[in-house]
Amino acid sequence: MATKKIALVTGANKGLGLEMAKQLAETGVTVILAARDAAKGEAAAAKLRAQGLDAQSIKLDVTNPEDHKAAAAFIEKNFGRLDILINNAGVAGEDLGTGAASTTTPELLRSVYETNFFAPIALTQTLLPLIKKSEAGRIVNMSSVLGSQTLHADPKSPIYDKKSLAYDSSKAALNSFTIHLAHELKDTKIKVNSAHPGWVKTDMGTDAAPMEIPEGGKTGVQLALLPDDGPTGGYFHLGKPLPW
């Protein structure tokens, strides 16, 4: 019998992170819910366990390098490897679509980049030795269509008039990390991809969003469970590539 896959999802105590953890667990994956607030993370994991799913939780503030080391030690001790990493934790920094380039402060840029760009890189680097022990590691960076430079530059694009410099550029930068890491790992079995979940009814997406959370979880889960012949170094929404 095959050993169960082990997945770590950041920002997993609510919203998309919790939904992706749930969907992965429903396929038989052991999920580790990472959350800044240990109590909220454990409460979310307990809800999944009450549904008969294999879920654990760890305290993980993605901006805290000490938490990265503790997460790696926890995974090493309990599982010896990591099969799936979903870098989901992120912040908007402001109301999306309102961040003019001429008025976005350096302080806001730094705070958004800290969580959306620097943190997932640092965490991935810390966990990569464990992912390399997997038979088929999968790294999913939760990006956004708002990270597409191509669509932002196209006057005919639906996002053309929705500009938030801090958030949009942080996701474009995260996409660049996806491309670079996928290239570095191209001769391994590890696949690295960016996901656009859609505009989803979460705290960040608000109730104005057209997509329900279960639908929004699908793209990240698809990329986390890619077969051996699946893509790497791509940018996807529900199986379809997006332009960088």
Residue 167 catalytic?
Answer: yes
Domain with 10, as residue range(s), is: 6-241
- Given 5, 22, 59, 171, the catalytic residue: 171
How many domains does the structure of the chain reveal? 1
Per-residue pLDDT at 34: 98
Distance separating alpha carbons of residues 90 and 83, to the nearest angstrom: 22
184 in any annotated domain: yes
Residue 171 catalytic?
Answer: yes
- Taking only the tens place, the pLDDT of each residue in 174-197 is 999 999 999 999 999 999 999 999
152 in any annotated domain: yes
Confidence of residue 106 (pLDDT cuts 50, 70, 90): very high
1 in any annotated domain: no
**Pick the residue with more confidence: 159 or 76?**
76
40 in any annotated domain: yes
213 in any annotated domain: yes
- Given 113, 167, 218, 235, the catalytic residue: 167
174 in any annotated domain: yes
**Pick the residue with more confidence: 181 or 99?**
181
Domain of 159: which CATH number? 3.40.50.720
78 in any annotated domain: yes
- Taking only the tens place, the pLDDT of each residue in 10-39 is 999 999 999 999 999 999 999 999 999 999
